[in-house]
Structure 1
Amino acid sequence: MRVQMLGLCRYSYLGLRGYQVEHDSIAARRAYLYDPARLERRWHWFTTVALPGWLAQTDPDYTLVVMTGPDLPEPWLGRLRALCDRVPQLRLSLVPPMDYHLQACRAAVAPHVDPDADVIGHFRHDDDDAVAVDYVQAARRDFALIAGLWQAEGKLSLDYGRGLMVEARDGQLKITPRICHNMGVALTIFLRPDAAETALHYNHTKLGQWMPGVQINGPLMFIRSIHGDSDSGDMGPGLPWQPEEGQMNRLLRTRFGLRRGDLAALARSLT
C-alpha cells in the first residue's frame, strides 16, 4: 500500500481565520504578521528548531508544503524561496488571503497530492516545532500495523504522544518532558487521495468526533515551542515523564539534530 506523507506548514500566512490570535481586519493582521522583528524571530525559530529534523529524516520520501502569502516581505520571502529550491521535500505555496482559511489550506496542499498513492498521511507542522528524525519512517511503519482500522472508514489518526515542551521566557530556556494527547505535532491524519480535507480540517483536540485514533507514547517524537510569538501560549493537559539522568542533551541531538546551547541562545535572543 503506497502511503504519501504530505504536510502543511503555515509560515506567517496572512489569513483571518484558523489561529487563536485574532484580528479585526486584513490590515491589522498584516501589520502583526509582517512586523520585521517578528518575522526575524520566526525565521530563527524555523531554521534553528524546525528544519534540522526535517533535513535529517531517515525516510526522505515526504513533502512539506510551506504556505505563505505572495506579499510576504523581503528578505524573508527570498529566504523561503532559496530554501525550498535547495530542499526537494519542501514546496513553497504562495496563497493570497482567502475568505475561508480551510479553503486556503486545501489550495496549498491539493497540487501536491499524489494521485497514485493509496493513502495520504496528512500532517500539520508549526514553524517553531520539531519532529524527530524518524517521524516519517515511523508513521509509515506503524500505519502498516493498523491499516485495517483505516480501511473501515478511510480516516484514521496516528498520534505520537511523547515530547518535550521548550519554553523561552525572559531570556531563559526551560525544557519539560510531557506525554500529550493529539497535541498537533507528530500527528498524522490518514485519508484517501480523493478526500477534500487536509490535516487542518480536523480540530486536533476533537479528532474522536470524526475518526478512530491510535496513540503511541514512545519513542520521543516531538518538540513543541512556547514563547512570546506562540499562537497558543500554554502546555495544555499532559503527563510528566523523566529522561534518564544526564540524557537530555543526547536526546536533543540524536532525536532532533539540535544542540541545547543553540536553543538557549535562541531563548536569550528573545529578550
Structure 2
Amino acid sequence: MRVQMLGLCRFSYLGLRGFQVEHDDMEERRAFLYDEGRLVRRWHWFEKITLPALRAQTDPDFTLVVMTGPDLPDPWLSLLQQLCEEMPQLELALVPPMRFHLQACKHALLPHKDMSADVIGHFRMDDDDAVAIDYVARAREDFGLVEPAWHKRKAASIDYMRGLVLKATESGVSVEPRMIYNAVAGLTVYLPPGDERSATQLPHWRLGHHMPGLILPDEIMFCRFLNHDNDSGAIGPGYDFDGPPPDAARVLAERFKIDLADINRDARDFGLPQAGRKHWGAT
C-alpha cells in the first residue's frame, strides 16, 4: 500500500485556541507571539533543532506543512518563504487567525493531502522538536506491522516512544533519555485519505480511544526540546531508559544532526531561566 507521509508544524500561528498559554483576545496573543525577542529565539531553535534532521531524512518523500499567519512579521515570514523554496518537502500555509484551532489546522493540511494514496501517515511536530533522520523511512515501512489492524478500523498508530528530552536554561542544555508515551514528535497516525481528521484532531494523550496502536521502542526517534518559550513544556508520561545512558552528544549528532556543544552555548547566550509554566519539565 502506498503511504503518503504528511506532517504539520505550527510556527507562531496566531489563533485563540489550541494553546495552553491563554490570552483574553487576539491582540494580546499577537503581542505575545510576535514579540521580537521571542521570534528570534523561535527561529534560532527551529534552525538548530528541527530542520537539520528534516534536511537529512533517509527517505525524502514527505510533506511538512509549516503553518503560520499571513501577518507574521518580517524577516521571519520572508525567511519561511525562502526556506520552503529551498526545501521541496516544506509547504507554507498562511492561515488567517481563526477562533477554532482544529479548523485552522484542517484548512492548512487539506490542500496537501494526496487523495490517490492508499494511506496517509499523519505526523505533527513543534517548531523546536526533532525526529530522527530515518523517521520517515521507518514510519512508511513499519506501517506493514499495523496494516491488519488498520484494515479493521481504518485507523492505526505507531508510537516510537524512545527519545531524548533536552532542557535549555541559562545554565546550558541538559539531556535526559526518556521513554514517553505518544509524545507529539515520533508519533504517526495512519488514516484513509478521505478521513478529515489528522494527528492534530486526535489528542495524542488519549489516542487509544480512537484507534489501535503499536509501540516500537527500539531506536531513539525523537527529541523533545524544553525552553523558555514552550507553550506548556510538559514532558509527558513515561520513564527513564533501562541500562546505561547513551552518549548524548554522539546520538544527537548521528540521529538528529544536532550539535550539543553549539546549542549549549546558545542557551547560555540567551540566558533565560525555565519557563514559568505550571507543567514545565513535569512528566
TM-score, normalised to structure 2, is: 0.93
Show the counterpart of 1:180: 180
After superposition, where does 1:232-271 map in structure 2 within 5 Å? Answer: 232-241=232-241, 247-271=247-271
2:107 and 2:63 mapped to 1: Cα distance? 15
Distance in 1 (CA, whole Å) between partners of 2:54 and 2:243 is: 23
- Counterpart in 1 of 2:113? 113
* Contact residue 164 and residue 223 of structure 1 kept, 8 A: yes
Could you report, residue by residue, the CA deviation over 1:75-124 in whole angstroms, capped at 9, with x for unpaired residues? 00000000000000000000001121111000100000001100000111
The residue identity in structure 2 corresponding to 1:143 is F
**Contact conserved, 2:172 with 2:265, CA < 8 A, in 1?**
no
Which one-letter code corresponds to 1:116 in the other structure?
Answer: S
Letter in 1 for 2:207: L
- Matched residues, number: 271
Report SS of the residue matched to 2:140: helix
SS of 2:181's equivalent in the other structure is coil
Match of 1:2 in 2: 2
The letter for the 2-side match of 1:7 is G
2:160 aligned residue? 160
Worse-matched range after superposition: 95-104 or 39-48: 95-104
Q: Secondary structure, in 3 states, of the residue corresponding to 1:175?
A: strand
Letter in 2 for 1:129: D
Counterparts of residues 11-22 of structure 1 (less than 5 Å):
11-22=11-22
Q: What amino acid is the match of 1:240?
A: D
Write the distance in 1 (CA, Å) between the matches of 2:248 and 2:173.
13
Counterparts of 1:2 and 1:189 in 2: how far apart (Å)? 15
The unaligned stretches of length 5 or more in structure 1 are none
3-state SS of 1:269 partner: helix
Residue 193 of structure 2 corresponds to 193
The residue number in structure 2 matching 1:40 is 40
Q: Report the CA distance shift for 1:138/1:170 in structure 2 as closer, same or farther (over 3 A).
A: same
Matched letter for residue 94 of structure 2: L
For 1:206 and 1:41, how far apart are their aligned partners in 2?
31
* Post-superposition offset of 1:247: 2.3
The runs of at least 4 aligned residues of structure 1 exceeding 4 Å deviation read: 242-246
Distance 1:131 1:254 in 2: 12
Report sequence identity in percent: 52
State the 1:40 CA deviation: 0.5
Conserved 8 A contact 1:129-1:224? yes
Do the aligned partners of residues 119 and 268 (structure 1) sit closer, same or farther apart at CA in structure 2, a change above 3 Å counting? Answer: same
The 3-state SS of whatever aligns with 1:88 is: coil
C-alpha separation in 2, matches of 1:141 and 1:62: 13
User: Could you tell which deviates more after superposition, 242-251 or 1-10?
Assistant: 242-251
User: Is the Cα contact below 8 Å between 2:175 and 2:248 reproduced in 1?
Assistant: no
Q: CA deviation at 1:246?
A: 7.0
2:100 matched residue in structure 1: 100
Partner of 1:207: 207
| 2:280 paired residue number | none
3-state secondary structure, aligned to 2:200? helix
Correspondence list, 1:121-140, <5 A: 121-140=121-140
8 Å contact kept, 2:170–2:269: no
Aligned equivalents of 2:195 and 2:6: distance in 1? 13
**Is the contact between residue 171 and residue 269 of structure 1 (CA under 8 Å) also seen in structure 2?**
no
2:142 aligns to what SS in structure 1?
helix
Match for 1:66: what amino acid?
A: V
Q: Secondary structure at the match of 1:234?
A: coil
Counterpart of 1:64 in structure 2 is 64
Unaligned stretches of 5+ residues in structure 2: 272-283
User: Counterparts of 2:93 and 2:12 in 1: how far apart (Å)?
Assistant: 12
Give, as a single letter, the amino acid of the residue that structure 2 aligns with 1:40: V
Aligned to 2:52: 52
How far, CA to CA, are the matches of 1:262 and 1:77 in structure 2? 25
Deviation at 1:157, TM superposition (A): 1.1
Q: How far did residue 204 of structure 1 move?
A: 0.4
